[in-house]
Amino acid sequence: MVVCACGGFDSDGENSGTNESGAAPAREGRAGGRDPRGDAPLALASSVTRHEDITREKANSGWNYLVHGVDTLDLGVSVVWGLNWSTLLERLITGKAAAAGKSAVQWDKVDGEESWITASGKPPMYRFHLRTQIGEVFIAKSGSPGRSPNVYVSLWALAIWQIGIHGCIAKLGRMIRKLGGRILKLIPSRCDLCLDLRIEGGLSLDFLNSHIVAHSRKTHLYRDGDRLETFYLGDSHSAVQLRLYNKGLKVRQDLTWMVFREVWKTSDLNDIWRIEFQLRRPFLHERGVNSVGDLFSKLGSIWAFLTEDWCSLRLPGDSNTTRRPIQEDWKLVQACGARFGRVGELQRCTGPFERPTPEWHQAHIGGCATSYGAARGFDTWEETLQDLCRALNRRRSAIEYEQDIKTKKVKMGRMGLQLKDTYPEGWDEV
């Protein structure tokens, strides 16, 4: 089993018990600060137990790091289905009709793995719904993408943990190719980042209410009597939502504890809590995450922003939240940014423009090249490329083209980046 910054598990987890709402203290400034230890090993810190005086830190308790990762990933996928789209569409319509009145029926098999089709879809855009080994795949009734992706994929959390996001994308690419399609673009639509910790004594509502400083004031919680089980910060439909919950309890309830014994490298499920940020498309777009490569290159910076600027735990006692010291255990959480990746400034993209990806340029160039070959009267792709290269080299010298490439790299902010920085490992399989 692979456990890394591109793995994760579980995105639902509504716990039974008392359902309450409230408000968190308003944010008056930066919600936290960078761990002065920098990239030093993450050390233990102090905590407050459920029945302890919330104004004092208990020096002998601690928060222990277990694992971090991408917990959920939804992708908008632009696919060109090609000449056999009418045949595929007929198969989808037939399968959807056969699934009426049933949970799902077997539909296809890729690499020896079955896929199933349901009678439902994802309104209003996606009419067809497939269940595969890597997740839910929703397909629109369109042979090519328009202004929006014509395929939507929600990766199974278990699949992400087991084979990683790279492995899931590679499998998705093989499935699309087998069905006769070609992926042009992948856009992250939702991403949940998580950190699992062993917190001795757990978390209490009093502790959170007295320490939390955040952008959002809206809270929602579930508890069993006096025992807190899940604490939400932010609206469920907002661009960012934080969830703190008893993950050890959750895996017992949904019978995934056997998986997590391997993930956490422990059979003791007591006092294991998850810190999870749900990020929707508006936030990702605002922070310039318009491809899977963008997401991987910014994970560390995103985590730092969320745990320093968007939300933090601070010691109570000062009405000015900007002057409150960071709670020691939260420094462990903030320092996890370096585990996700390189931490830098997370810039805000205020304009609506999304720069075309390399995949878009590939598709555009391919379309122009075929038109060029037809206009020149060629019958083969090889003839077309050879003639086109000769024509381009006659127009300008290689030095002139290279100068333009360097200028555009500077404008795109890609100066110094290599291919491995732009694409995650395994991307070429798609």
Question: pLDDT by residue (tens digit) across 108-142?
Answer: 887 778 899 999 999 999 999 999 999 999 999 99
Given 340, 375, 407, the domain boundary residue is 340
Q: Which has the closest alpha carbon to 371: 394, 388, 395?
A: 388
Distance between CA atoms of 95 and 111, rounded to whole angstroms?
A: 20
| Burial class (CB within 10 angstroms; exposed 0-12, middle 13-18, buried 19+) of 102 | exposed
What are the tens digits of pLDDT across the range 5-41?
Answer: 444 333 333 333 445 555 555 444 445 443 333 333 3
**What is the C-alpha separation between 400 and 404, in angstroms, rounded?**
6
Are 311 and 241 in a shared domain? yes
> pLDDT tens digits, residue range 253-266?
887 888 888 889 99
pLDDT at res. 2: 39
* 53-57, 322-326, 365-369, 396-400: segment of lowest average pLDDT: 53-57
What does the pLDDT read at residue 363? 73
**Is 185 contained in some domain?**
no
Residues 119 and 169 in one domain: yes
Same domain, 207 and 238: yes
**Whether residues 197 and 257 fall in one domain:** yes
In which band, very low, low, confident or very high, does the pLDDT at 354 lie, cut at 50, 70 and 90?
Answer: low
- Same domain for 270 and 297, yes or no, is yes
Q: Are 133 and 70 in contact (CB under 8 A)?
A: no
For residues 43 and 165, state if they share a domain. Answer: no
User: Quick one: 228 and 307 in the same domain?
Assistant: yes
User: CA torsion 260→265→266→270, rounded to 10°?
Assistant: -50
Q: How many domains does the chain have?
A: 4
| Same domain (yes/no): 227, 132 | no
Rounded CA gap, 32 and 379, in Å? 63
- Is 43 among the domain residues? yes
* pLDDT on residue 364: 76
Among the candidates 131, 146, 180, a domain finishes at 180
Least confident window among 150-154, 214-218, 301-305, 352-356:
352-356
Residues 412 and 384 in one domain: no
Least confident of 75-79, 247-251, 408-412: 408-412
Is 5 a member of any domain? no
Identify whether 323 is part of a domain: yes
Residue 371 has pLDDT above 60, yes or no: yes
Q: Are residues 214 and 302 in the same domain?
A: yes
Q: In this structure, is residue 97 part of a structural domain? A: yes
- The residue among 130, 155, 180 that closes a domain is 180
Is residue 219 a part of any domain in this protein? yes
pLDDT at 56: 34
For the cut 90, the answer to whether the pLDDT of residue 362 exceeds it is no
pLDDT of the residue at 15? 39
Range of the domain at 383: 357-395
Domain assignment of residue 8, yes or no: no
Rounded to two decimals, the pTM is 0.72
Q: What is the mean pLDDT of the chain?
A: 82
Do 43 and 168 lie in a common domain? no
- Asked if residue 2 belongs to a domain, the reply is no
pLDDT (tens digit, 9 = 90+) per residue, 62-109? 899 999 999 999 999 999 998 889 999 999 999 999 999 999 999 988
Q: 61-71: per-residue pLDDT in tens?
A: 489 999 999 99
- Kindly state whether residues 413 and 388 are assigned to the same domain: no
